[in-house]
Amino acid sequence: MLTRHRPPQRGKHSLSKAFHGPSARQRGVVLVEVMVAILLFILGVVGLVGLQSSMTRAQTEAKIRADATFLATEVLGRLWSDVNNISLYNGSACAGLPRCKEWQDKVSRELPGGTGAITVDALTGDVAVTVSWSLPSGETHQYVANTTVIKAGT
């Protein structure tokens, strides 16, 4: 005898539900999960942008400090090469000396809000070179290099 195959009945235990997609409640949970994932991603991106910004600022400040150190060392080299005229580099007299004026102009040109000053004690040969600058945030910084310059044979 031949038996007819009956289609499965739709009820609680039927397999047909497995092929119909998630229920409305489950779809709401998935939406919340996606929104939380997007929020976490956005927070991560904002954090990376902030980190990049502070790294750029720190790099800029480090370059300015390195430039200030170089400029102070450069004028000390000029003092050593012009030891006979060392007293001419002191204070405001420096502006009248072309080599010194050129250095002060270079400090102004290469550093934001940059100024350079030289103090010379002609008796002892003690020299202090002060290079000052202002950061875009308004902070003022300075680098001071001290040395003693003496003539050979004294």
Q: Does residue 86 lie in a domain region?
A: yes
Q: How far is the C-alpha of 143 from the C-alpha of 65, rounded, in Å?
A: 8
Q: Does residue 55 lie in a domain region?
A: yes
Mean pLDDT of the region 90-101: 84
**pLDDT at residue 126 tops 90:** yes
Domain hosting residue 72, numbered range: 24-148
Q: Does residue 90 lie in a domain region?
A: yes
Contact 112/135 with Cβ under 8 angstroms?
yes
HSE at residue 108, side-chain half, CA atoms within 13 A, is 7
Q: Does residue 116 lie in a domain region?
A: yes
**pLDDT at residue 151 tops 80:** no
Q: How many domains does the chain have?
A: 1
Q: Does residue 8 lie in a domain region?
A: no
Mean pLDDT of the region 52-81: 93
Q: Does residue 16 lie in a domain region?
A: no
Query: So what's the pLDDT on residue 16?
Result: 54
Q: Does residue 2 lie in a domain region?
A: no
